């Protein structure tokens, strides 16, 4: 199967562009995924503590008006303010749903909780969202790691940030024939992260001396009668984009199938302390099958999760000084 799949750049998918903005001191940021010609979209929310905006637009029960952008950000629910700036930027450029009196940009957003890393009093705001959107309009940024929504991302937080490890923003894209699929993800899980190709742990909970990995699931089991206070300080948020043509019902199915990547790479996952969410967006007219695209989307997301960890690694001294 691998011989049929060609790795490409997300820049090779027409009509998709990413812009990032962040505050490097506060360790938080915004990633805007802009759809030049609009996108049909679905969404899967499996975590118990999501922070999101306008997700009903992805329901098959609502109108088929195309999305203009998906926003991924830090800041927990405070970070939802970033979409105000994204909407302002898009409106200034004449982009949005025509109502007859104004063009209203259609923007969905999900946030990670990164307030315990860097600074808690600075969060993504309208200005940061505007900046990220402007960058997305100008060109597609395929940077990964400690950038945009991944700036303050961490993983393996069952015993607190000082025994956790850094993660970030990951991107991966493939092509099979005419079909192109990409995944963008900010990995900020309470659980440990694994390389799905060999089941090896690559990030997550560490011992107090930060020498060896511990097992987050085992720690939780040992605390079964005195569960830890996880404080909803997590959430892995992502978006898969394809150039195949699907309606919202099928895109919701693709989003739910993509969740298999979370299960293969993150453990534990989808807890009440996570707000795990995945958008699935269609920006093209290629004819394909929902089962094929959903299965491939999960594979692409697995690679993006791995890249989010590998591209965000920093030394322990730098990591620990930003843990509040």
Q: What is the pLDDT along the chain (324 residues), one digit of tens a residue?
A: 667 899 999 999 999 999 999 999 999 999 999 999 999 999 999 988 899 999 999 999 999 999 999 999 999 999 999 999 999 999 999 999 999 999 999 999 999 999 999 999 999 999 999 999 999 999 999 999 999 999 999 999 999 999 999 999 999 999 999 999 999 999 999 999 999 999 999 999 999 999 999 999 998 888 776 666 665 578 899 999 999 999 999 999 999 999 999 999 999 998 888 889 999 999 999 999 999 999 999 999 999 999 999 999 999 999 999 998
Backbone angles phi and psi of 173, in degrees to 5? -145, 145
Q: Rounded CA gap, 244 and 239, in Å?
A: 15
In terms of phi and psi (left: phi > 0; alpha: psi -120 to 50; beta: otherwise), the region of 145 is left
Tokens linked to 86: 């994204």
Backbone φ and ψ of 191, nearest 5°:
-90, -175
SS3 label, residue 53 = strand
Confidence at residue 56, expressed as pLDDT on a 0 to 100 scale: 94
- Counting Cα atoms < 13 Å in the Cβ hemisphere of 184 gives 33
Which residues have CB under 8 Å from 209's CB, separation 6+?
none
Structure tokens at 212: 């060896």
**What are 16's strand-pairing partners?**
35
- Map out the domains of the chain with their CATH numbers: 2-322 (3.60.70.12)
pLDDT of residue 230: 62
pTM over cut 0.85: yes
Res 39: pLDDT: 98
Question: Which residues is 173 bridged to in the sheet?
Answer: 8, 182
Question: What is the DSSP track for 119-176?
Answer: -SS----HHHHHHHHHHHHH------BSSGGGTT-EE--TT-GGG-EE--EEEEEEEE
Q: Taking the C-alpha atoms of 296, 277, 73 and 314 in order, what is their torsion angle to the nearest 10 degrees?
A: -70
With beta carbons less than 8 A apart as the criterion, state whether 190 and 268 touch.
yes
Q: Are the CB atoms for 273 and 155 separated by under 8 Å? A: no
Alpha-helix residue ranges (DSSP H) falling in the chain: 82-92, 126-138, 216-222, 248-265, 290-310, 316-320
Rounded CA-CA distance 262/282 in Å is 21
């Amino acid at each position: 199967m691998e011989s049929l799949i060609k790795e490409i750049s997300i820049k090779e998918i027409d009509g998709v562009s990413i812009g990032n903005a962040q505050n490097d001191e506060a360790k938080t940021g915004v990633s805007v995924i802009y759809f030049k010609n609009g996108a049909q979209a679905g969404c899967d929310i499996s975590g118990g503590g999501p922070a999101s905006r306008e997700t009903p637009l992805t329901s098959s029960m609502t109108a088929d008006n195309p999305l203009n952008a998906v926003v991924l950000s830090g800041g927990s629910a405070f970070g939802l303010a970033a979409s105000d700036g994204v909407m302002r930027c898009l409106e200034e450029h004449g982009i949005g749903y025509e109502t007859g009196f104004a063009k209203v940009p259609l923007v969905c957003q999900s946030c990670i909780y990164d307030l315990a890393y860097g600074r808690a009093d600075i969060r993504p705001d309208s200005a940061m969202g505007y900046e990220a959107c402007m960058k997305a309009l100008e060109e597609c940024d395929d940077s990964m790691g400690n950038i945009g929504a991944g700036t303050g991302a961490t993983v393996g937080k069952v015993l607190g940030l000082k025994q956790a490890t850094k993660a970030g923003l990951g991107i991966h894209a493939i092509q099979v024939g005419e079909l192109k699929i990409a995944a963008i993800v900010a990995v900020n899980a309470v659980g440990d992260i694994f390389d799905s190709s060999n089941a090896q742990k690559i990030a997550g909970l560490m011992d107090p001396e930060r020498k060896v990995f511990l097992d987050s699931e085992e720690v939780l089991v040992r605390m079964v009668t005195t569960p830890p206070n996880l404080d909803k300080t997590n959430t892995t948020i992502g978006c898969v984009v394809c150039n195949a043509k699907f309606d919202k019902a099928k895109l919701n199915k693709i989003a739910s199938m993509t969740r298999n990547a979370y299960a293969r790479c993150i453990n534990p996952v989808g807890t009440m302390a996570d707000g795990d969410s995945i958008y699935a967006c269609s920006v093209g007219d290629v004819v394909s099958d929902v089962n094929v695209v959903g299965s491939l989307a999960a594979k692409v997301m697995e690679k993006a999760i791995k890249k989010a960890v590998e591209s965000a690694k920093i030394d322990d001294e730098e990591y620990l000084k930003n843990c509040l």
